[in-house]
Structure 1
């Protein structure tokens, strides 16, 4: 699982650097940003040691870095604690996403509306 997620992350970074295109299925389908929207750009700024910009693109950019350590530490100890931590993390991510949608959507990076996405394109085609 970690190898698959790492592979997806590497492809995402490469696509962002070379083609400036998102690989996000939700964003490319609905035109709306997903809960992790801005995470790749946050990591790009983190690599450049620009912590302020990394936080601006996604305030929870450290969460993916902590997940493997939490998982490895708790895999042998208590799976109930691990499940509780995962649940709490998911709730925090969804709340953060809602706040960011309210504050930034649809006019501020990284929460711009993708009018070229599939659903908006089909809707525009059908209404014309």
Structure 2
């Protein structure tokens, strides 16, 4: 019989990864705090151009999905379920099984291509009238152009 994975082993793997990526995590937290304080947004594309990005609405979509609001989730982004499944798969393989996650870049690449295609479709069909596909006038480019 194969022994069960010890929780201490899983915790050790997680701590190792957190320590390895600590500077990236710290920079991301600082970026998040600064952009929300100054621009009231997180996405660099929205901050600079005012245009929605292919991932706009993804955080809310995942939240709605996790709270059982499937219709609202799907309306914002039909890709949230795939990112959740990818995350669960990654955590299981990387931390529970302790193996390298093979094929993750291919899956992420396919998911990003699908999101880009859906983004183009939404830009032609619902932009700028339906959230999250709206234009934000308080962007950097628009503010710079008003100075002249």
Alpha-carbon distance in 1 for matches of 2:143, 2:65: 34
Q: Of the two structures, which has the highest relative contact order with CA contacts closer than 8 Å and spacing of 6 or more?
A: 1
Distance (whole Å) between structure 1 residues aligned to residue 89 and residue 131 of structure 2: 30
Among 101, 105, 118, which residue is 1:83 paired with? 105
Contiguous gaps of at least 5 residues in structure 2: 1-16
Write out aligned runs for 1:55-66 (5 A). Answer: 55-66=74-85
Structure 2 residue aligned with 1:67: 86
CA drift of 1:46 comes to 2.5
Aligned residues: 114
Q: Which has the larger radius of gyration?
A: 2
Structure 1 portions without partners, runs of 5+: 16-20
Q: CA deviation at 1:26?
A: 1.3
Contact kept in structure 2, 1:70 and 1:82, CA below 8 Å: no
2:52 match: 33
1:52-92 CA-to-partner distances (Å, cap 9, x unmatched) read: 0111111211122122234354884773x333222211211
Q: What's the TM-score once normalised by structure 2's chain length? A: 0.62
Normalised by the length of structure 1, the TM-score is 0.70
